Amino acid sequence: MANRQEENEPLLNNQCLEEYHDEEELIPTAIPVANFQDADLGPPLEPPPFDATPPPPVMPGEEPPPYTPGPPGAMPMINCRVCQAMISLEGKMHQHVVKCSVCHEATPIKEAPQGKKYVRCPCNCLLICKASSKRIACPRSNCKRIINLQSAMFPANASAPSTLTTISGYRVVCAHCNQWFRFPHHYALARCPYCRKVSSVGPSYAKNRCIVYAVLGIVFLAAGIGVTIATMELAKNQGGIYFVWISAFIVAILNFMRSCYYGSMKVSNIENEG
């Protein structure tokens, strides 16, 4: 009979059921704290200083940042490569990159697809390009930076980081497409990386070249006319003099054509930064 009564008794009493109900509703309860005097608490703790040092860029061939798996059932996390905030990887393990909810920049969690590589622009934009690329442009409208990838000494899948350099120099506005790009010289010809057309950086270079070739053309033209007049009687007996005449006039024409080329060349202006 005693065993029969024990079997009919409920497994949990009313007190236990109430506590279990509280856990189901996830009602937070405050932990009782002993009464302390203000003198016993001590001064408030200051938060640790914020490290504002920017993270290093993602180099081509670089492994994604490692993450340490937590205990079973815990949510996998990873550090953002830009702001170092924690990013949850729950439901994202099949992706190659994840987006940070703090800085809204991308962080790779897997290696780049075969034949591709990751490059992070100085503006923190994560780019993916061909492993054989030597020069890329940032697609962001407020950046448009040209990045040189000098990775000739390392294979595409090597673990050694490649050198990531950004062209420094003058900010030039293309005369053909009105896009701006960096160019190291202010007195030279430049080919726009966007439209691939050549223009003069500043008006001085094209103007000076136009004058120089025009003067050379006039000199050779005058020399050809002078030689022609002076050797007209002699050319009747020596046919090789005709070759000298023709050569002088051809050189003069080529110089005039070169002068016209520089004279009609469009000029890309240097934009002041500041």
Residues with catalytic function: 129
Quote the tokens at residue 250.
Answer: 């051809």
* Pairing relationship of beta strands 135-137 and 126-130 according to DSSP bridges: unpaired
Cα distance between the two ends of the chain: 96
Quote the tokens at residue 115.
Answer: 């034949």
- List of residues 6+ apart from 211 with CB closer than 8 A: 259
Report whether 113 contacts 96 (CB < 8 A). yes
List the one residue out of 103, 84, 87 whose CA is nearest residue 95: 87
Beta strands in 131-266 (DSSP E): 135-137, 146-150, 163-166, 170-173, 180-183, 189-191, 198-201
